[in-house]
């Protein structure tokens, strides 16, 4: 009786979620760092996606997807966040070290793969888009605990929007582009 939910539920989705939560937890203890993120947020979930979910990389969002939708939405979002970042950057000065833009890209690609590729698209195909959205937004918010309050609250909104964009386009590239722009531009503003 205790194990009935495991017997009747989607065991592959459960195992995949445990792997995802484990790597996110390990990053909290062994990060930060681009190399650590590439292994924990990208390499391990990529292997688990293949082994557990039986999903090759393109089925986990590593593709252009619907670029005709993703590109203009991403560019518009990058423009739309400029005033928000400009207003909020005053509260973030001195909190984060400088990261070269190319390393930021590796970091955000890895991070977006875990949250939007592995959790949102990978699990969404098995348990439904809304349930997967709820899981990845909640988990992504948890990893923001300890950061400035507005950044943590913003992760709920951005995680939802990034998840919807990844699901609609079937690609993590478009949320990665927006997230990378936010990180690089915010870093520029905080240093100014």
Please report, for the chain, the start and end positions of each structural domain, with discontinuous segments joined by +.
Answer: 4-57+66-191
pLDDT at residue 13, rounded to an integer: 92
Q: What sign does the dihedral 72-88-161-178 (CA atoms) show?
A: positive
Between 26 and 7, name the one with better pLDDT.
Answer: 26
Q: How confident is the model at residue 188 (pLDDT cuts 50, 70, 90)?
A: confident
Q: Which residues have C-beta within 8 Å of that of residue 21, sequence separation ≥ 6?
A: 139
15-73 pLDDT, tens digit each:
999 999 999 999 989 978 899 999 999 999 999 999 999 999 999 999 999 999 999 99
pLDDT at residue 88, rounded to an integer: 78
* Residues belonging to the chain: 192
Alpha-carbon span 189 to 90, nearest angstrom:
8
Quick one: average pLDDT of 3-13?
72
**The model's pTM:** 0.90
Alpha-carbon span 162 to 149, nearest angstrom:
20
pLDDT at residue 128, rounded to an integer: 93
90-149 pLDDT, tens digit each:
766 667 777 889 999 999 999 999 999 999 999 999 999 999 999 999 988 888 888 888
Question: What proportion of the chain, given as a percentage, has pLDDT over 70?
Answer: 93
């Amino acid at each position: 009786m205790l194990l009935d939910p495991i017997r009747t539920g989607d065991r592959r989705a459960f195992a995949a979620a445990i792997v995802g939560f484990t790597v996110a937890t390990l990053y909290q203890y062994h990060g930060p760092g681009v190399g650590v993120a590439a292994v924990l947020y990208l390499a391990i979930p990529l292997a688990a996606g293949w082994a557990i979910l039986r999903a090759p990389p393109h089925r986990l969002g590593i593709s252009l997807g619907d670029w005709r939708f993703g590109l203009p939405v991403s560019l518009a979002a990058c423009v739309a966040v400029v005033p928000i970042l400009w207003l909020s950057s005053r509260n973030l000065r001195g909190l984060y070290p400088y990261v070269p833009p190319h390393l930021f890209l590796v970091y955000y690609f890895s991070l977006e793969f875990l949250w939007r590729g592995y959790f949102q698209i990978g699990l969404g195909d098995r348990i439904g888009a809304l349930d997967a959205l709820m899981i990845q937004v909640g988990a992504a918010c948890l990893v923001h605990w300890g950061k400035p309050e507005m950044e943590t609250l913003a992760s709920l909104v951005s995680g939802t929007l990034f998840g919807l964009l990844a699901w609609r386009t079937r690609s993590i590239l478009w949320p990665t582009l927006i997230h990378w722009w936010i990180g690089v531009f915010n870093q520029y503003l905080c240093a100014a």
